[in-house]
């Protein structure tokens, strides 16, 4: 069974189309709000009996508030952190006792390549994703004695509508060229494998981290970026 959670019922129900056949269901919630995160976990356990896997793939992009630091408001800073860091914390906190009691679980947090390689004009986004990554490592140590694996995925460049909406902000210069062309050129210049990342690329990594094949992997930030970051 899969439970898909989003801000709206409509969006979360669309996510069920990709879940395949089964007794899947959708919930609407803002997981950056304490009561809503706790209610989601409670409702999912009541419906499914138990939760084996948590994937925190919610996030707030930086492009809609990208600015030099002296033009970033406290409201914008907090809004990004509430979703990218606090939301992850609240969901993990709500579910941790359940996984400890069962002595089994897989937690997968979606961070970003920005957690490893910061970019100018989005310090709030980069810092929030770095917080998510370090939170993942801390929680991995805490939950390891209970046979719970906690990992993160750091995706690289994925084509989204943000590139069309905020192209100038992303590349740091105004341009009248098609966004897709600029994106492809940026990928070619910065990604050694020369190709963009896709939702399927990220999904395959999530499937691995959710499987027993990854039973000895915890506290890691798995970079899916075509070689754009190498350690």
Give the domain 31-224 fold.
Rossmann fold (3.40.50)
The active-site residue, picked from 125, 146, 186, 208, is: 125
What is the Cα Rg of the chain in Å? 18
- pTM for the structure as a whole: 0.90
Catalytic residue at 208? no
Distance (Å, whole) CA 131 – CA 81: 9
Q: For the chain, what percent of residues have pLDDT higher than 70? A: 89
Domains of the chain: which residue ranges?
A: 31-224
Interval 96-122: pLDDT, tens: 999 999 999 999 999 999 899 887 888
């Amino acid at each position: 069974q899969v439970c898909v959670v989003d801000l709206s019922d409509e969006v979360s129900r669309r996510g069920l189309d990709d879940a395949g056949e089964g007794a899947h269901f959708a919930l609407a919630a803002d997981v950056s709000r304490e009561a809503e995160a706790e209610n989601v976990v409670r409702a999912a356990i009541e419906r499914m009996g138990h939760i084996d896997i948590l994937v925190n793939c919610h996030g707030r992009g930086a492009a809609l508030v990208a600015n030099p630091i002296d033009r970033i408001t406290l409201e914008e800073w907090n809004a990004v952190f509430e979703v990218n860091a606090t939301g992850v914390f609240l969901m993990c906190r709500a579910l941790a006792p359940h996984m400890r009691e069962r002595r089994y679980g897989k937690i997968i947090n979606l961070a970003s390549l920005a957690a490893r390689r910061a970019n100018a004009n989005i310090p709030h986004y980069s810092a929030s994703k770095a917080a998510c990554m370090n939170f993942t490592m801390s929680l991995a140590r805490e939950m390891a004695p209970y046979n719970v694996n906690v990992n993160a995925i750091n995706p690289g460049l994925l084509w989204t509508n943000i590139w069309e909406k905020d192209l100038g902000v992303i590349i740091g210069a105004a341009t009248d060229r098609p966004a897709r062309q600029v994106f492809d050129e940026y990928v070619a210049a910065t990604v050694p494998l020369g190709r963009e990342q896709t939702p399927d690329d990220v999904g395959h990594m999530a499937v691995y981290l959710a499987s027993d094949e990854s039973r000895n992997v915890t506290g890691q930030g798995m970079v899916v970026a075509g070689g754009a970051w190498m350690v």
